Amino acid sequence: MSGAIAGTDGVLRCPWALSTEDYVSYHDEEWGRPVHGDDALYERLSLEAFQSGLSWITILRRREGFRAAFADFKIAAVAAFTETDAERLLVDAGIIRNRAKIEATLANARVLAEWAPGELDALIWSHAPSSHPVPKTLADVPPVTDESTALSKALKKKGLRFVGPTTAYALMQACGLVDDHLADCAARGRCPRARAGSGPRPGHREGRSSNSRLPRDAMHAPPSSPSRGTPTRRTGRKPKYIQYEDFRPALPQPPAGGTPRARSPKLSTSPPLSAALERGDPHEQGGPHDAARPALRADDGNLTTGPSGPGTSAAPWR
């Protein structure tokens, strides 16, 4: 893993930010800047859940579609969604149409609607660490921390779903609880990290980053995954992996001593681009999460061996 890299403008940035213009904007203006407000944090929690098992660029480029489909992620509005709304979401091409993730997003809104205003903000920010190591390369960025594990447990205890330790840490990175911009990155330290208790007054639910119209692409920089079979630095637990099966068929081998057989056009079974985006093509990497987490996130225990298509009830990828 390398350190910060200069872009075409000569500015040093985290390597993941240079793959697309969407990432450059997100990296420079959103990622790592403090976010407060119950609705704003609910949005980020929800999009993190939808990202599980997918490339982050897939979510970023659909962010406006998600906002339109989920009433701009207003907790009270989403909590009032009916079964009709759930069925509508399952055929909405502007979002990831995964039944389990959609149902979790609606269920989380109903849980949060019962909380006191500002309670979600206070709970999340209470897990901001008092100090955090400055990463020099992507390899220095952990996939989970003690604080993200504690935050995950606290959210689950309150009844929220799809909030495993890795998802919780990605949220902490994106919303400024930690600053994981690399040491030489120009964006590091641009915005003072908000401390627990420095958020909105009690009763405040609104809130969104100042760059709310930017695509939701790189919401969270991907922490670096430890090598296979190596215990994680903080938790001591071995990470879980799901091995992707290459969807490209093996080519026929020429017979011994003979001439190679012509490739049959029927052998190609690669899915079209739309299908790859819908399921989150494992080869479409390069985002802040993707660079360091090439394997599926397995922090919620909801593991499956394949994607869930539109309108299906299969369990989500994690």
Catalytic residues, by residue number, are 26, 48, 56
Phi and psi angles of residue 12, each rounded to the nearest 5 degrees, phi first: -75, 130
- Cα separation values, 58 from 65, 217, 219, Å: 11, 7, 11
Length of the chain: 318
Cα(first)–Cα(last) distance of the chain, in Å?
Answer: 24
Two structure tokens written together for 280: 């989150």
Calculate the CA dihedral of residues 142, 302, 65, 294 and round it to 10 degrees: 40
Bridge partner residues of 12 (DSSP): 6
- Measured distance CA(62)–CA(22) in Å, rounded: 12
CA angle 181, 154, 226 (to 5 degrees): 45
Q: What number of H helices and E strands is found in the chain? A: 11, 2
